[in-house]
Amino acid sequence: MKLKTIHRAGFTLLEIMIIVSIIGLLAALSVPTFLKARATSQTTVCINTLRQIESATHQWALELKKGPTSLVTEADVTPYLKKVRACPAGGTTFGDSYTLTDVATDPECQKAPATHTLRP
């Protein structure tokens, strides 16, 4: 007499639980790295925008023969910028992201002034 063995294809509940726990562990390890990379890239973009604003301010001052104490507004430097960007850390417009005072003073980020600085 021959016994027939039935081979069932599929995974057991234990195997699925192990795979899900491994995926969860990998996700838990990678999320902080992704958040740090995002914050670093936001800081880099903001600092580069501050450099562009500073360059546009100096170009505006040279063309119009303004002194270092001349007040600068957003309307003054906007024509000298290729693309006006807001701070990626939460700004919506140029005006609510950056502060301009005079030609001699560096522009400042309003959204993250502690980390988004032109000169450390």
- Average pLDDT score, the chain: 90
On whether the CB atoms of residues 54 and 107 are closer than 8 A, the answer is yes
pLDDT score recorded for residue 58: 95
pLDDT score recorded for residue 27: 93
DSSP string, the chain: --PPPPPPPS--HHHHHHHHHHHHHHHHHHHHHHHHHHHHHHHHHHHHHHHHHHHHHHHHHHHTT--TT-B--HHHHGGG-SS----TTT--SHHHHEE--BSSSPPEESS-TTT--S--
The string of pLDDT tens digits covering residues 98-107 is 999 999 999 9
Average pLDDT estimate for 15-41: 94
- Residues 98, 12: Cα–Cα separation, whole Å: 57
Domain boundaries, the chain: 13-109
The string of pLDDT tens digits covering residues 80-117 is 998 888 999 888 888 889 999 999 999 999 998 889 99
